[in-house]
Structure 1
């Protein structure tokens, strides 16, 4: 008797919950995407509603079928993006002590520097082979021009950390130039998402008056082992993410299709990568995909194997207000079903707890936040 071999699975975190997906090939494979679509975003700036609606139709199809797309001709200044990449590379080249001054375990929002292997989204690895710096909405940073909100906790206290050493003085202005440009584009994109859902353009404006936002600057060193991972397989916990990634010869970002196959997302000049995240999946009742993705900065079995490259990435995360309550949109609800409502900030903090597991030794600044 011939035994049927066990079905192989891909493991990941979806909405903060461990999950797995069978790898399907041949006759058992499902119809699914095999590449990430490219969408020309010039129409986001058009004064014509019909132009924006046509763009929204393309965006909506990508959100349903893939959950990722390339935003081509996004309109953000290329010199600004180049300058930000230069600053990010300079920051990660600084002395470790300069970076560790702002270690992320010192803040409730996990803002600041994260060292190599301190995150571990995939329990089957030794940790995420990356270092990063996270900043976000902060009512005390003058660059954001925000007024503290009495009804929200800690908006009168700093949330971000910034290095104080003179060698890092260039970093904060560069990151804020990028932050403000991405925030402006994100607000336009959110209106396109509203149109794609057959809603008025300004439908989400009321719950994004003071959105939760983050820039995460990330440095991935070359991987020398196929068992390593830059960041483990996961979904994002926000409305959506915009990713600007540096040029590398081999794709490092990969997205998971319905057959459990990893699809490479190559660097494309003058584009952002947009991916739908958990909150948009939630409000669409699962009609839009919050697609599992990972980073492996490894050249694989190519002729150039072993010739790894430094990779840098600057994802921008955009979410509703911290105190916003979200649930499935009324016109997408099924009759007779009950739908749970989530407070955005509470959900966000729980996901931080799950995703930011560290390997710090006791006494080195570990901090657990409830």
Structure 2
């Protein structure tokens, strides 16, 4: 059995190798978010109960009727393909190392989510809330806040990406209401904690991996996400794989007009491991490039994450010490990105 070091400790990843059990997408629950838009409280509570079941048993679920316009997504993908097609030197003008708050372009292999691997085979554009440099939180050194780095070209890239970001953040607010109901809390419990959320979006491009695949160098190595939950749109063929409770890798293929939602380490800590932060990885064997857009949604920087009282009792004492949300996320970035650390040469 192989293991992976995560922000919540060492996790078993199942058998070594890259084989995946091919199962129907219904292995991962599909939840209709229309219930969260209903004026009927019972409809919303039923949706919350579905989210609870998915989060305790799987840690992943699809959502449909999510309210994000297909046109907004399509425009973001179109402009992103034009950006990634630029010469490497042009993209590196906004290299993420030039940002004090983790924004900009990341070339191939400069991220390593699994410490035992040799770099992740994707390139990325990272952004978050576009917060002015003179904002009090930026001046106070809260390093997840600040302005984004934008390329000069393509001209339509910035407006397309910001429109997508705005839509996914709105979806994140809806999901936080669903998570509150899933935890049998007041529906608005989390809303005061997401006035200025650490909501970090990425646009990812994966080149195809053909022939014999190096197990130590895939699209993204086995990992769990850092924040409360991830909102993922997949564009292209199946590449995302999720580790089930039996230690078997299961495909999570794209389903039209849906997003994949998964629990992150921060929500696992908040729920005292009631909700599963599930290991996953990406291997692009489609023979063509693949794109995806994840939004990693966490609360405001200074939010203290400690096990909720409703998720602990005498038989389930708190598993994690309190930690500030922003500091926790930064600690995970420090362990993942080349530009944030001095690493020995990869072999």
TM-score (norm 1): 0.83
How far apart are the structure 2 equivalents of 1:65 and 1:359? Answer: 35
* Residue number in structure 2 paired with 1:312: 291
- Alpha carbons 1:118, 1:359 under 8 Å: kept: no
Give me the whole-angstrom Cα distance separating, in 2, the residues matched to 1:360 and 1:100. 18
The equivalent of 2:175 in structure 1 is 189
Q: In the alignment, is residue 232 of structure 1 matched against residue 221 of structure 2?
A: yes
Instruction: Find the residue that maps to 2:235 and give its secondary structure.
Output: coil
Aligned to 1:333: 312
For the pair 1:354 / 2:335, whether they are aligned, the reply is: yes
For the pair 1:297 / 2:278, whether they are aligned, the reply is no
Residue 305 (structure 2) pairs with residue 282 (structure 1)? no
Aligned 8 A contact 1:242 1:274 in 2 = yes
Task: Give the CA RMSD over aligned residues.
Answer: 2.6
Please name the residue that 1:304 is paired with: none
Matched, 1:56 2:48: yes
1:208 maps to what in 2? 194
Aligned counterparts of 1:123 and 1:196: Cα–Cα separation in 2: 33
User: Any conservation in 1 of the 2:142–2:326 contact (CA below 8 Å)?
Assistant: no
Q: CA deviation at 1:194?
A: 0.2
Structure 2 residue aligned with 1:44: 36
**Aligned CA distance change for structure 1 residues 170 and 148 (closer, same or farther; 3 Å):** farther
Number of residue-to-residue matches in the alignment:
330
Q: In 1, distance between residues paired with 2:65 and 2:119? A: 36
Quote how far apart the aligned CAs of 1:13 are: 3.5
Normalised by the length of structure 2, the TM-score is 0.88
CA distance in 1, matches of 2:268, 2:142: 29
| Counterpart in the other structure of 1:305 | none
In the alignment, which residue of structure 1 is the partner of 2:114?
Answer: 122
Question: Would you say the 8 A contact 2:13–2:279 is kept in 1?
Answer: no
Once the two structures are TM-superposed, the CA of residue 16 in structure 1 deviates from its matched residue by: 6.3
Is this contact kept in 2: 1:131–1:218, CA < 8 A? yes
Q: Which residue of 2 aligns with 1:218?
A: 204
User: 1:142-221 maps to which residues of 2 (within 5 A)?
Assistant: 148-149=136-137, 152-153=140-141, 158-163=146-151, 165=152, 167-221=153-207
Say whether the 8 Å CA contact 1:120–1:358 is kept in structure 2.
no
Instruction: Mark the structure with the bigger radius of gyration.
Output: 1
1:241 and 2:227 are equivalent in the alignment: no
Partner Cα distance (2:342, 2:57) in 1: 43
Residue 99 of structure 1 is matched in structure 2 by 91
Q: Distance in 2 between the 1:265 and 1:22 partners?
A: 17
In structure 2, C-alpha distance between the alignment counterparts of 1:297 and 1:15, rounded to whole Å: 25
Does the 8 Å contact 1:13/1:121 carry over to 2?
no
Name the CA shift for 1:192/1:158 in 2 (closer, same or farther; >3 Å): closer
**Structure 1: gaps (5+ residues):** 1-8, 25-32, 300-307, 363-370
Q: Distance in 1 between matches of 2:8 and 2:45?
A: 33
Deviation at 1:153, TM superposition (A): 2.4
> Separation in 2 of the partners of 1:158 and 1:322?
12
